[in-house]
Amino acid sequence: MTATDRKVFPVSWDRFHQDSRALSWRLAGIGEWKAMVAITRGGLVPAAIVCRELGIRTIETVCIASYHDYENQGSLDVIKAIDPNVIGVEGGQGEGVLIIDDLVDTGTTAKVVRDMLPKAHFATVYAKPKGRPLVDTFITEVSQDTWIYFPWDMGLSFQPPIAGDDA
């Protein structure tokens, strides 16, 4: 599949904020969160919104890189692990901890973080079918062959029609 054949799902700042708030609403009824772990970098923006909405003050990051060229998922690098003080919340398995990311795609990153905090609640704004079983809560599912363009990845530019120039 070439880049021009790929399905795209552009997400505006307004849409992303609305979807992140919708995630907060779902999470509000699930439990009391003692801490949050944001998966960087994509999880930072939804984490800020969810923390604000739910009043979470203890915020930690786990820094993992899997997309090295914005096109293809490559090898997974854990750049920064989760602080042991956060892992130690409620017995060291992640109970009471909320993990946030923007997207679960193939589930590769989610599996690594899930192994670090097996009892944490994992939430993403968007989910693709391969990674969906690894998250507990998400807002929108898109097909596996869809590329999501997040607002921090885009500038304002012309978008050609889906049907091509002849339409």
Helix, strand and coil content of the chain, in percent to the nearest 5, comes to 30, 30, 40
Question: Residue 38: what residue type?
Answer: A
Active site residues: 101-102, 105
Q: For residues 28 and 163, is the Cβ–Cβ distance under 8 A?
A: no
Tokens 């589930």 -> residue: 107
Beta bridge partners of 145: none
Beta bridge partners of 37: 60, 99
